[in-house]
Structure 1
Amino acid sequence: MQLKQDFFEQLSGFYSQVFPLGISNPHWLAWSQDAANLIAIEKPSDALLQGLSGNAQIADASYYAQVYSGHQFGGYSPQLGDGRSIILGEAIGPQGAWDVALKGGGPTPYSRHGDGRAVMRSAVREFLISEALHQLHVPTTRALAVIGSDLPVWRETQETAAITVRLAKSHIRFGHFEFFCHSERGAPDKLKQLVNFTIKQHYPDLSCDAAGYKAWFTQVVRDTAKMIAHWQAIGFAHGVMNTDNMSILGDSFDFGPFAFLDTFKEDFICNHSDPEGRYAFSQQPGIGLWNLQRLAQALAPIIASDDLIAALNQYQVELVQQYLRLMRAKLGMAVSPAKATSPEAESNKGLTDTELDNSDLELIGGFTMLMEGNHLDYTNSLRSFGQLDPHTKHSSLRDDFIDVNGFDNWFEAYQKRLGHIHDVEQWQGQRNSVNPKYILRNYLAQEAIVAVEEGNLTPLHELQQVLQKPFDEQPEFDDFAKRPPDWGQGLIMSCSS
């Protein structure tokens, strides 16, 4: 693993150097060769295990924890930072560099009296969700491995420590800019230094001047909107959308009490620490904009307010268009019905783009409302479109609805929007290519974690294998696609890790 140290060498004062504390009896719990290929690692080795567990020093690694602030559940925390994550540097791969971080590597100056450790259950969950989201084509950080140990740590009860080896194109967060926007911390010079570094590293086509700053922030807004559109379309709830958990590159980041929707529920809350539902599933689009507004406030010393406002105004437009693109693909609706050949579909041809978008949003919303009212599984209902004949309302999907009349009324409007499908089999195959059969359901993760605790890694490795090909049938793993048992419905996790 070849490392470079751009952040460490160019941004002195933005971090503290700190070395990991090794863990006893380190051993591989999980490994992603797909992620390893990103940084040109051919296979796991004993030497790499010792280095990534903190028991041996890795050549060229700098070892540092970043400092930042952030808004947590709406309240500003003036200093946060990497409390249990230690970055080694940027590993050079065939298509660019990736930060390598040891999440759970021990205490740092920003641990706030914590032990700096991660417990096995949270390390496994982060590994699985990072790789699962990637295979679902959702922008995300990645996970190279989970390293287990026999080191005891205390949360609600005694557990064992583990390390997730995280890969990120950047660990820079909204909270970095919030920290360095204050005059006592060197703003605007420090702020400008951080923006310039971010642009040069990740937006090399942009200039480090007023025009470049405007274009950069506009791209941050669009990337954030794109990420959240993916979350809403795939049915993913992040759970802790604090500004210090928001990647400046629009990658899903810092996973805690996340969950995929099982039975569709618009206001689903996956975080036990969020009883008021600030970060409920339905609130994620609005929180994305709220977080961007906080970022804009932090950037106000160096970017003109008119430019910030113009960029923020792009958020809803980008979010809606990305969400429409994804959901139209899921439901099999062409971007435009202009080629529709059925007489019923001819009436759609005269719609303006805005009217068509609004009509499609209403159609999509009507289906999600039906799912919620009929207590249907989000993923499985969408997967059913791969078996649906769009020319007839009689289908296994229809049979799932208690409110059959409600479904029939919706389906009539849906058929009108679709028009005639010439090759139904091809259309069905296209639906299966965008509607996954397998997602990381919380109960599946929990079953794998319990097995690991009992010394059995097979369920974890099988689950990882299934999630690598979420759109494939994989009939030998059909049970992984079933709705959760009663105990696993709507599991709510805590932030404890």
Structure 2
Amino acid sequence: MKLNDLKVDMDYFHMDGNLYQKLEATPLKNPKLVSYNKQACDLIGLDYSECETNEFLEFINGSKVLKNSKPFSMVYAGHQFGYFVPQLGDGRAINLGCVNKWHLQTKGSGATKYSRRGDGRAVLRSSIREYIMSEAMHSLGIPTTRALAIIDSDTFAHREWEKESCSIVLRMSPSWIRIGTFEFFANTSNAKENLTKLADYVIEESYSHLKDEEKKYEKMFYSLVDKTALMLAKWQVYGFMHGVMNTDNFSMAGVTIDYGPFAFMDYFDKNCICNHTDSEGRYSYNNQPYVARWNLMVLAHSLKEICDENKLLEYMQTFLPQHENIYLQDMNKRLGLDASKSGNSNLDLIVELLGALESSKMDYNVFFYGLTNLDSFEDLSSVINLAVFRTPLEDWFESYKKVCEKEKSSFENRKEIMKKANPKYIIKNYMLQDAIELAHSGDYTLVNDLLDIAQNPFDEHKKFDKYSKPTPMKFANIKLSCSS
């Protein structure tokens, strides 16, 4: 389909006009296409050839508006690091409408009335990181927003005492409604009416099977609890850290949104913090499931005008058990084991492994890829030699052998399971930094190469074999800023 033929639905304007701002983007100077994503094109039915036209560049930059599109930004509130902020909003994002049930949004398109003295811009490094990481997450089966394209420019902004080129990434989501959106609506003068409209809107776009159900708002909440339990389990299984799990960064569709100071774990550390602003470790790796539960409880309170809050809180008791069950099932797969053969899903073995990985200073995901390629217990050196300290892993392998024997699990069977769960490549921050540094010099080739790796992480990509090795120690578990 041609760009101009895309059918854009504008479905938010039945809300109170004080809850959004219609506006035009502020285009960047001399925009340059960095990359476009064919998989995302397929989701909205866009011909690939359209992405190589000046018209497409103008569309991303905001100087071209599609037929029927009326760009706007949304208001919301949120708890940021546990403290309530009554008004936030799309400070640098503009919504372009919905195409084939995907809501299009450009990030970095200029200031809105929700910018809170910000410049409304996104710099190239943060845009590259979100563009590639959202695709990497999808390829691992982690619910996430997607990204269609990214542009660079000759417009510059100051970040952390440096001048950096500004960029725009066009991202796509089944919904841009957040827990923080409900927090804002719950604090309006006609809260019940606004909450009802918002809940109906969320059900229409994300839970349409509930439209004609009794107690549909409670069931919307229950469904989000289930989806969030799954998402958080997937995060933990692959060592992903979001970095800023504020309620305004938490999706009502149960997908990962708003990539900022994120990271996939390098050397395993259960208390790892990837955001240098998070001095108390509120959003550390180990805390993420508990923060998600806290965020959902905030939502339950925000829905009290249209739901039985006690019923919502009662259902919340299922969150951690659901999360743990999914986590254990997937961790068993990463070990090549059949959880159904073990009464406790090999909980003790998994807990022992995490302790061994931490004590041995072992690259988390590289360990699982090494385990996948292990052919014999006679020579464990191919895995153990990747650790800084060998003994903790040697001890763990003794426990692993016993479980394998108990389950009568062969190397062939385990490999078959693990090859679907343990990719060769996990996108790490040092890899993204390599692409960012080249992009700053005008070379976007590694951005596109990493996109290919992110979308096909189980493939060999022999030219980039170095990225399948443990993260160099000097780059391991570094903390990033919210502007990165």
Into which bin does the TM-score normalised by the smaller protein fall?
A: over 0.9
Partner of 2:3: none
Distance in 1, Cα, partners of 2:196 & 2:64: 37
2:428 maps to which residue? 441
SS in 2 for 1:158: strand
Which of 81, 84, 100 lines up with 1:73 in the alignment?
Answer: 81
Amino acid at match of 1:479: K
Q: Are 1:221 and 2:225 counterparts?
A: yes
Give the deviation of 1:131 after TM superposition: 0.9
Q: Which amino acid aligns with 1:379?
A: N
Distance 2:40 2:359 in 1: 40
Structure 2 CA distance, aligned partners of 1:251 and 1:448?
26
Task: Give the partner amino acid of 2:210.
Answer: L
Change in Cα spacing, 1:295 to 1:422, as seen in structure 2 (3 Å) is closer
Does the CA contact (< 8 Å) of 1:65 and 1:108 recur in 2? yes
CA contact (8 A) 1:245 1:253 kept: yes
TM-score by length of structure 1 reads 0.91
- 2:128 pairs with 1:124: yes
Q: Distance in 1 between matches of 2:448 and 2:380?
A: 39
Residue 59 of structure 1 corresponds to 67
What residue in structure 1 maps to residue 44 of structure 2? 39
Residue number in structure 2 paired with 1:241: 245
- Give the structure 2 partner of residue 325 of structure 1: 329
Cα pair 2:274 2:284 within 8 Å, conserved: yes
- Displacement of 1:208 in angstroms is 6.0
Does the 8 A contact of 2:174 with 2:205 survive in 1?
no
Q: Are residues 1:50 and 2:54 paired?
A: no
- Residue of structure 2 in register with 1:451 after alignment: 438
1:30-56 superposed Cα distances (whole Å, 9 cap, x missing partner): 111111110111120221211220122
Partner of 2:178: 173
Equivalent in the alignment of 1:303 = 307
- Whether the 8 Å CA contact 1:175–1:244 is kept in 2: the answer is yes
| SS at structure 1 position matched to 2:155 | strand
Q: Tell me by how many angstroms 1:67 deviates.
A: 0.6
Assess, with a 3 A threshold, how the Cα gap between structure 1 residues 213 and 403 changes in structure 2: closer, same or farther.
same
How far residue 27 of structure 1 moved from its aligned partner, in angstroms, is 1.3
Aligned residue in 2 for 1:23: 28
Contact 1:199 1:208 in 2 (8 A): no
Q: What is the CA–CA distance in structure 1 between the aligned matches of 2:471 and 2:392, rounded to whole Å?
A: 26
The match for 1:469 is: 456
Q: What one-letter code is carried by the residue in structure 2 that aligns with 1:49? A: L
Q: Does 1:188 align with 2:196?
A: no
For structure 1, which segment, 315-324 or 454-463, has the greater mean C-alpha deviation from structure 2 after superposition? 454-463
Deviations 1:307-347 (A, max 9, x none): 1122211101110111012111101110222xxxxxxxxxx
| Aligned position for 1:86 | 94
Q: Distance in 1 between matches of 2:378 and 2:418?
A: 17
- Secondary structure at 1:67's aligned position in 2? strand
Task: Tell me by how many angstroms 1:423 deviates.
Answer: 5.2
Distance 1:193 1:172 in 2: 12
Aligned 8 A contact 1:84 1:105 in 2? yes
1:405–1:219 CA distance, 2 compared to 1 (3 A): same
Judge conservation of contact 2:360–2:392 (CA < 8 Å) in 1: no
RMSD in angstroms over aligned alpha carbons? 1.9
Asked whether the 8 Å contact 2:80–2:246 carries over to 1, the reply is yes
State the secondary structure of the residue aligned to 1:313.
helix
Shift of 1:485: 2.6
Segment drifting more, 67-76 vs 399-408? 399-408
Residue 206 of structure 1 aligns with which residue? 210
In structure 1, give the amino acid aligned to 2:163. Q
Identity fraction in percent? 37
Q: Which moved more, 1:68-77 or 1:207-216?
A: 207-216
Decide which moves more: 60-69 or 206-215. Answer: 206-215
- Counterpart residue number, 1:366: 352
Q: What is the total number of aligned residue pairs between the two structures?
A: 474
Deviation by residue 1:441-483 (Cα, 9 ceiling, x = unmatched): 1111111101011111122222222222111222222012122
- Determine the structure 1 residue equivalent to 2:297: 293
Query: 1:180, 1:278 → 2: CA distance?
Result: 26
- Letter of the structure 2 residue corresponding to residue 473 of structure 1: E
Distance 2:474 2:385 in 1: 25
> Given the two structures, how large is their TM-score scaled by the length of structure 2?
0.94
The Cα shift of 1:294 comes to 0.7
* Structure 1 contact 334–418 (Cα < 8 Å) conserved: no
Specify the alignment match of 1:160 in structure 2.
Answer: 165
Whether 1:315 aligns to 2:319 is yes
Contact 2:357–2:393 (8 Å) recurs in 1: no
Contact 2:404 2:410 in 1 (8 A): no
Change in Cα spacing, 1:106 to 1:402, as seen in structure 2 (3 Å) is closer
Aligned position for 2:287: 283
SS in structure 2 opposite 1:88? strand
In structure 2, give the amino acid aligned to 1:146: I
8 Å CA contact retained: 2:247, 2:295: yes
Q: 3-state SS of the aligned residue for 1:410?
A: helix
Letter of the structure 1 residue corresponding to residue 186 of structure 2? C
Distance 1:4 1:489, change over 3 A: same
Instruction: Establish whether residue 388 from structure 1 lines up as the match of residue 374 from structure 2.
Output: yes
Give the secondary-structure state (helix, strand or coil) at the position aligned to 2:151: strand
Residues 205 and 48 (structure 1), Cα distance of their counterparts in 2 relative to 1, 3 Å cut: same
Which residue of structure 1 lines up, in the alignment, with residue 414 of structure 2?
427
Decide whether the 8 Å contact of 1:134 with 1:140 is kept in 2: yes
Name the residue aligned to 1:378: 364
Residues 232-261 of structure 1: CA deviation (Å, up to 9, x unaligned): 001111100000000011101001010111
C-alpha spacing 1:31/1:383, structure 2 compared with 1 (3 Å): same
Given that residues 156 and 163 in structure 2 are in contact (C-alpha distance below 8 angstroms), is that contact kept between their aligned partners in structure 1?
yes
Partners of 1:208 and 1:244 lie apart in 2 by 28
2-structure distance, mates of 1:487, 1:393: 29
Residue 103 (str. 1) matches residue 107 (str. 2): yes
